């Protein structure tokens, strides 16, 4: 298939394809991080993860409307405020949900699957009633549109670069919070042994609530960022949920590093295959590979070493 093209053409396509893979990688990491905390650290199968993302997207949409109406001169910078608001809104809803629903189900992990699935349906219908069934268009500031012109044939999408930067930032922040801060230590203690953690004086209920809230808040930021590349509608969250679980489970549920490694391998496989065959076929082969590897390594790519 490459016979007709010059070396220069091919070179630039490989560079662009490399970028496409990196962008996909960042998108996967960003959407999986929140779930990696909730599912990986707390063991809650949160089927409503996508809906927490879309809440962030709707918050972004409302912020953009607000800025356009009242502060058009500051429109260029609204996105940063929108992401913070998205984090707060999704995080707050997450903490509410944890208090009302999830905390009663910690001893029954499989029931959280059904409960959160029901929650996702309720949230979808709530979005539909509040914001309407149609998709909304989130208008972006001018500087976030278009691409960086590197050479005549190499162009890098600005929003892709933005997502990459954001992902790196949030990953570092999460890693710091989980592995370097006092609070992160408490979270890990609760995950490893709830009774013991309680006995040494950790307020396990509070830790659970904040952890769940953090995971949902990160989902909100992801949703906010994805208004740049995807759609915002009541059911848009469903577009992400399968890939999100795929990345987290494949990476090994309890490992943040595993999540990153799995996002990297899945995104690179997918984007390379997509280039050589059709999109549907690439997806099929990627999923087959994941299933195959999970059969050989049921614990995922990286698993916590636990003494048995």
Partner 1 sequence: MSDEANKGLLSPLRRKLLMGMAAVPAITMLPRASFAQAPATSAVNTTGLAVTDTEVTVGILHSATGTMAISETGSIEAEKLAIEQINAMGGVLGRKIKFIQEDGASDWPTFAEKAKKLLVNDKVAAIMGCWTSASRKAVLPVMEQYNGMLYYPTFYEGLEQSKNVIYTGQEATQQILAGLNWIAKEKGAKTFFFIGSDYIWPRTSNKIARKHVENVLKGKVVGEEYYALGSTQFNSVINKIKLTKPDVIFTDVVGGSNVAFYKQLKAAGIDLAKQPLLTISVTEDEIDGIGGENIAGAYACMKYFQSLDNANNKTFVPAFKKTWGEKTVIGDVTQAAYLGPWLWKLTVEKAGSFDVDKIAAASPGVEFKGAPEGYVRIHENHHLWSKTRVGRAKLDGQFELIYETADLVEPDPFPKGYQ
| Residue 239 engages partner 1 in binding (rule: CB under 8 A) | yes
* Cα 294 to Cα 308: distance, rounded to the nearest angstrom: 21
The dihedral built from the CA positions of residue 251, 252, 253 and 254, taken in this order, carries a sign that is: negative
| Residue 127 engages partner 1 in binding (rule: CB under 8 A) | no
Q: Choose which of 63, 90, 112, 271 interacts with partner 1 (CB under 8 A).
A: 271
Q: What is the DSSP string of 48-99?
A: THHHHHHHHHHHHHHHHHHHHHH-GGGGGGHHHHHHHHHHHHHHHHHHHHHH
Cβ at position 199, least distance to partner 1 in Å: 46
| Residue 147 engages partner 1 in binding (rule: CB under 8 A) | yes
Q: With CA atoms as reference, report the closest residue to 247 among 217, 231, 270.
A: 270
- Residues 181-210 close enough to bind partner 1 by CB under 8 A: none
Using the contact rule CB under 8 A, the part of the chain among 111-119, 188-196, 256-264, 278-286 near partner 1 is 278-286
Task: Compare residues 78 and 210 and give the one whose CB is closer to partner 1.
Answer: 78
* Cα 62 to Cα 127: distance, rounded to the nearest angstrom: 13
Strand segments (E) across 100-242: 147-149, 155-157
- Residues 14-53 close enough to bind partner 1 by CB under 8 A: 16-17, 19-20, 23-24, 27
| Residue 165 engages partner 1 in binding (rule: CB under 8 A) | no
* Cα 144 to Cα 159: distance, rounded to the nearest angstrom: 6
The upper half-sphere exposure of residue 132, i.e. CA atoms within 13 Å in the direction of its Cβ, equals: 5
Task: Compare residues 17 and 299 and give the one whose CB is closer to partner 1.
Answer: 17
Q: Choose which of 8, 132, 165, 298 interacts with partner 1 (CB under 8 A).
A: 132
Q: Choose which of 43, 111, 151, 153 interacts with partner 1 (CB under 8 A).
A: 153
Question: CA-based Rg of the chain, rounded to a whole angstrom?
Answer: 20
Q: Which residues bind partner 1 (CB under 8 A)?
A: 5, 9, 13, 16-17, 19-20, 23-24, 27, 125, 128, 132-139, 145-147, 149, 153, 155, 157-160, 226, 228-236, 238-240, 270-271, 274-275, 278-280, 282-283
């Amino acid at each position: 298939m490459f016979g007709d093209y010059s070396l220069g053409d091919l070179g630039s396509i490989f560079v662009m394809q490399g970028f496409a893979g990196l962008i996909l990688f960042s998108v996967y990491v960003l959407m999986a991080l929140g779930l990696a905390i909730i599912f990986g650290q707390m063991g809650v199968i949160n089927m409503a993860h996508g809906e927490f993302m879309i809440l962030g997207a709707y918050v972004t949409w409302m912020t953009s409307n607000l800025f356009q109406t009242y502060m058009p001169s500051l429109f260029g910078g609204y996105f940063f405020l929108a992401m913070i608001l998205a984090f707060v809104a999704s995080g707050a809803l997450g903490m509410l949900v944890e208090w009302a629903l999830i905390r009663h189900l910690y001893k029954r992990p499989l029931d959280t699957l059904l409960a959160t699935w029901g929650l996702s349906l309720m949230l979808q219908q709530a979005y539909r009633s509040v914001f309407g069934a149609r998709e909304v268009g989130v208008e972006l500031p001018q500087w976030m549109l278009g691409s960086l012109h590197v050479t005549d044939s190499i162009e890098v999408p600005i929003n892709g670069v933005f997502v990459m930067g954001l992902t790196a930032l949030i990953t570092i922040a999460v890693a710091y919070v989980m592995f370097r801060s006092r609070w992160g230590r408490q979270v890990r203690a609760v995950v490893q042994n709830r009774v013991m953690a309680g006995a040494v004086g950790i307020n396990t209920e509070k830790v659970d609530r904040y952890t769940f809230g953090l995971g949902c808040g990160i989902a909100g930021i992801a949703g906010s960022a994805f208004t740049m590349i995807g759609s915002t509608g009541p059911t848009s969250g469903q577009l992400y949920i399968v890939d999100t679980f795929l990345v987290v489970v494949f990476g090994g549920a309890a490992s943040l590093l595993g999540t990153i490694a799995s996002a990297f391998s899945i995104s690179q496989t997918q984007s390379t295959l997509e280039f050589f065959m059709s999109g549907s076929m690439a997806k099929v082969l990627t999923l087959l590979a994941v299933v195959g590897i999970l059969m050989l390594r049921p614990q995922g790519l990286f698993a916590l070493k636990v003494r048995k």
